[in-house]
Amino acid sequence: MKRRTLLLSGLGAAGALIVGFGALPPRSRLGKPELLPVEAGEVALNGWIKIAADGRVLLAMNRSEMGQGVHTALAQLVAEELGVETASIGLVPAGFDAIYGNVATLEGTLPLSARAKEPGHESTVARLGQWTIAKLGRELGLNLTGGSSSMADAWEPLRWAAATARQQLVAAAAARWKVPASGLKSEGGEVRDGTGRALGFGALAADAAKQAPGDVTLKPREQWRQIGRAVPRTDLHDKVTGRARFGIDQRPEGLLFAAVRHAPMLGGEVGAITPAAVDQLLQMPQVLRLVRLPAYAGGTEAIAVIARTSWHAMRAAQQLEVEWRAPAGGPAVIPDTQRIAAELAATARRAADEGFAFASQGDVDAALRDVPRRVEALYEAPYLAHATMEPMNATARVADGRVELWLPTQVPGQVRALAARVAGVDADKVSVHVSYLGGGFGRRLDIDFAGQAVRVAMEAGGAPVQLLWPREEDMTHDFYRPAGAAFMQAGLDSAGRALAWRVGSAGDAITPRWLARVVPPLSGPIDTPDKTASEGLFDQPYAVPNQRIAHVATHQHVPVGMWRAVGHSHNAFFTESFIDELAHAAGADPVAYRLSLLDDLPRHAAVLRLAAEKAGWGTPLPAGRARGVALHESFGTIVAEVVEVTNDQQRPRVLRVVCALDCGSVINPGIVTRQMEGAVVFGLTAALHGRIDIVDGVVRQKSFPDYPLLGLAETPQIDVHMVPSTNAPTGIGEPGVPPLAPALANAWFALTGERRRRLPLVA
């Protein structure tokens, strides 16, 4: 507790230094109309909203669409306040001003327990931390789509921007008609007076821009017509006709194509390439040029071949003879996953004593000594690849002192900064066009491929170049979900109730490394305690009087990054498998045992009860089947999953998953349901099959056959249920992933009596 308080005090002091304390209304992100470029006939009303000549509402979109439905859901907020249909809203790219930054994801970096941040009952420390981070976040303006934060971040500012625009449009109509604004309504793209008289937004926009908005209020919940409805996604027509443009679909005039090949060893270097080899390469049909690519942020060196098609470029890159070298650091920096697993396990066993305590209360050592019964277990999780369906790519043109980029990215502002550094120009000479993302899952929070594309385009004589990684490069040069291990110990009283909970975990820190690569101005020591390392462990929800949950940060020389649900992705497996072990040790039902430790967290209990009820928990199943359960909060959303499993030749086969969640106010239940279904499939892929093995510095898994994804035939029935809530919305992109693996392992235990503590569950 003491260290956590210290950490927050530090942040609080920083915040106070910058601004002093004060109110932070959502209007601080309204933005001036000048932030929005306008074309002929358009009128901007603030930094988010402009009105086209035909009256259409245009929204500055600051988030990347990678399948999570954010383009639709954010438009719903605006449609609601302006009284138009969601489908009628046009999207324009947001610029780089700080109002478009992501404050919510930074608030999510605070190491707060479930009890400290329960909505409406936040502790003083939590309020101070949230206020400070929010203020810092607004100053910083880091634009990032990730951390399941888009809706939480947009919830107030976007509705506020739309409501302000609405008030101005209404005021303009009131002035035109010389009537009080109070009797007027904004509906169907018009302002109406209730007697049949109406003025379209297009006719009012120029006047509206001159009106003061007056007292702006948000539409009350009872009047919502867009929010809370399963509004159809606005991007699907293009996605079923082949018209949606992803990164690799960009076709600027005169486009050339490049393929990348990295040194096979992680951290490896490009050695000699003989003149004969280069000659041979350049004689291949349609091949134009060879480019050496420096290591991105201390990573792996590569070559790129420019050609007239991606196929020619990939073939040539593959055939080129290169002397690949090991990392300059020698054997000490060459990773091997077998050795790493042993080291993580050994470190985890010491970590409760030696590590940084993210949570500590009571006297856990004394409690463990005094209890009649102790349970302990070591859990392990492997490295994982993102494997987005669209491999890494970026298209760049460097000409006339300017850089233009078209790419799928989760961090356009960081792409701009990197492109400026690589090309040696000012950031305002760089344009970034964000395409649809063929999957993100955190991989596109890194920007290595963008820097490579700029570097290659610098050698292309002003022509645009589309740089593409073959699947094998994508799989073998990812920023992997770090491997982790946790040694869990608990002490139970004679009734089986947990009195002590002691955890030591080990693994590489993600955030400090990511900051160093992607946001260098914010980077600090790699050994800064990283909340993502312990999230899902230190914030476990169960009321245990004595706890110590500590983590040792390791240095394994494997590039690691954000992977859907980040630390929760493996830590939930550790926590929720272990609580299940305690339930069985206590001879208690796993749902009842959890509920007995959740008296003061009614939202958690409600989610667990809903999942259990909908799954028929406790009712008989056909022979050869069993159920398992897990409950986990991440990104502010509480999810419980009940998995029904059968034994298919000593391998678990999942027949049904029931998922219940509390994500605060539901903006679009259709999107929430599909995100949960997708997360279950993503979680099941990892739980059953996911592993990246590294032997002598080289990743063994090259493509889908050896890094299998769950297929349609293996996909179980998935049912999703939401707990009604009036709280502010929280994340939905990631929180469905963490509970799946432990629920499955717990079901397997219930079925077979065999406790599997290492992922993946199928070797």
Partner 1 sequence: MDIDINGAMHTLPTHADDPAMPLLWALRDGLALTGTKFGCGIGACGACTVHVDGAATRSCLTPLAACAGKKVTTIEGLAAAGHPHAVQLAWIAEQVPQCGYCQSGMLMAAAALLARNHEPSDADIDAAITNLCRCGTYPRVRAAIHAAAAQLRKASSQGAQA
Is residue 652 within 8 A of residue 747, CB to CB? The reply is yes
Q: How far is the CB of 677 from partner 1 (least distance, A)?
A: 5
- Binders of partner 1 among 664-683, rule CB under 8 A? 670, 674-675, 677-682
Q: Bridge-partner residues for 699, per DSSP?
A: 694
Alpha-carbon separation of residue 463 from 2, 419, 487, 739 (angstroms) = 58, 16, 55, 48
Residues 6+ apart with CB under 8 A from 716: 644, 654, 655, 656, 657, 680, 684
- 185 near partner 1, judged by CB under 8 A: no
Q: Which one of residues 468, 498, 659, 663 is an interface residue with partner 1 (CB under 8 A)? A: 468
Residues 6+ apart with CB under 8 A from 342: none
Is residue 543 within 8 A of residue 598, CB to CB? The reply is yes
Q: Which one, 98 or 227, has the nearer CB to partner 1?
A: 227
The values of phi and psi at residue 364, to 5°, are: -70, -35
Print the binding letters for residues 260-289 with partner 1: x by CB under 8 A, - otherwise.
Answer: -------------------------xx---
Closest CA to 205 of 243, 176, 233, 241: 176
- Binders of partner 1 among 285-324, rule CB under 8 A? 285-286, 308-312, 314
Taking contact as CB under 8 A, which single stretch among the options 578-586, 594-602, 605-613, 707-715 is the one that binds partner 1? 707-715
Q: Which one, 55 or 67, has the nearer CB to partner 1?
A: 67
Is residue 625 within 8 A of residue 751, CB to CB? The reply is yes
- 653 near partner 1, judged by CB under 8 A: no
Closest CA to 445 of 471, 413, 484: 413
- Binders of partner 1 among 719-758, rule CB under 8 A? none
Q: How far is the CB of 466 from partner 1 (least distance, A)?
A: 9
Q: Which one, 224 or 246, has the nearer CB to partner 1?
A: 246
Q: How far is the CB of 703 from partner 1 (least distance, A)?
A: 5
Q: Kindly determine how many residues on this chain lie close enough to bind partner 1 according to the rule CB under 8 A.
A: 66
Q: Which one, 333 or 709, has the nearer CB to partner 1?
A: 709
- Binders of partner 1 among 359-418, rule CB under 8 A? 387-391
- 760 near partner 1, judged by CB under 8 A: no
- 236 near partner 1, judged by CB under 8 A: yes
Q: How far is the CB of 240 from partner 1 (least distance, A)?
A: 5
Q: Which one, 107 or 644, has the nearer CB to partner 1?
A: 644
Q: How far is the CB of 244 from partner 1 (least distance, A)?
A: 5
Dihedral of the CA atoms 281, 287, 289, 294 (nearest 10)? -80
Q: Which one of residues 3, 27, 225, 239 is an interface residue with partner 1 (CB under 8 A)? A: 239
- 237 near partner 1, judged by CB under 8 A: yes
Q: Which one of residues 77, 334, 422, 437 is an interface residue with partner 1 (CB under 8 A)? A: 437
- 249 near partner 1, judged by CB under 8 A: yes
Q: How far is the CB of 716 from partner 1 (least distance, A)?
A: 9
Q: How far is the CB of 318 from partner 1 (least distance, A)?
A: 10
Q: Is the peptide bond before 482 cis (omega within 30 degrees of 0)?
A: no
Q: Please tell me the number of Cα atoms within 13 Å of 260 on its side-chain side.
A: 37
Q: How far is the CB of 154 from partner 1 (least distance, A)?
A: 19
Taking contact as CB under 8 A, which single stretch among the options 165-173, 421-429, 433-441, 747-755 is the one that binds partner 1? 433-441
- 461 near partner 1, judged by CB under 8 A: no
Closest CA to 751 of 761, 760, 736, 763: 761
- Binders of partner 1 among 14-53, rule CB under 8 A? none
Q: Which one of residues 40, 194, 195, 243 is an interface residue with partner 1 (CB under 8 A)? A: 243
- 711 near partner 1, judged by CB under 8 A: yes
Q: Can you say whether residue 287 is alpha, beta or left, with left for phi > 0 and alpha for psi between -120 and 50 degrees?
A: beta
Q: Which one of residues 709, 721, 727, 758 is an interface residue with partner 1 (CB under 8 A)? A: 709
Residues 6+ apart with CB under 8 A from 214: 167, 171, 181
Taking contact as CB under 8 A, which single stretch among the options 227-235, 330-338, 416-424, 748-756 is the one that binds partner 1? 227-235
- 430 near partner 1, judged by CB under 8 A: no
Residue type, 258: A
Q: Which one of residues 73, 151, 248, 572 is an interface residue with partner 1 (CB under 8 A)? A: 248
Radius of gyration of the chain (CA): 27
d(CA 209, CA 212): 8
What's the CA angle centered on 129, arms 128 and 130, to 5 degrees?
A: 95
Q: Which one of residues 240, 332, 623, 763 is an interface residue with partner 1 (CB under 8 A)? A: 240
40 C-beta neighbours (distance < 10 Å), count: 6
Is residue 743 within 8 A of residue 688, CB to CB? The reply is no
Q: Which one of residues 623, 713, 724, 763 is an interface residue with partner 1 (CB under 8 A)? A: 713
Q: How far is the CB of 544 from partner 1 (least distance, A)?
A: 34
Task: Give 411-415's long-range contacts (Cβ < 8 A, gap of 24+).
Answer: 411/142, 411/143, 411/144, 411/145, 411/444, 411/445, 411/447, 411/518, 412/64, 412/96, 412/143, 413/96, 413/141, 413/142, 413/143, 414/142, 414/447, 414/518, 414/519, 415/447, 415/450
Is residue 371 within 8 A of residue 499, CB to CB? The reply is yes
d(CA 10, CA 17): 11
- 355 near partner 1, judged by CB under 8 A: no
Q: Which one, 161 or 316, has the nearer CB to partner 1?
A: 316
Q: Which two tokens stand for residue 268?
A: 């490896």
Q: In 250-290, which ranges are continuous DSSP H helix?
A: 275-283
441 C-beta neighbours (distance < 10 Å), count: 25
Kindly list the residues in this chain that would bind partner 1 in the complex (CB under 8 A). Answer: 65-69, 230, 232-233, 235-246, 248-249, 251, 257, 285-286, 308-312, 314, 387-391, 436-441, 468, 470-471, 670, 674-675, 677-682, 703-705, 709-713, 715, 717-718
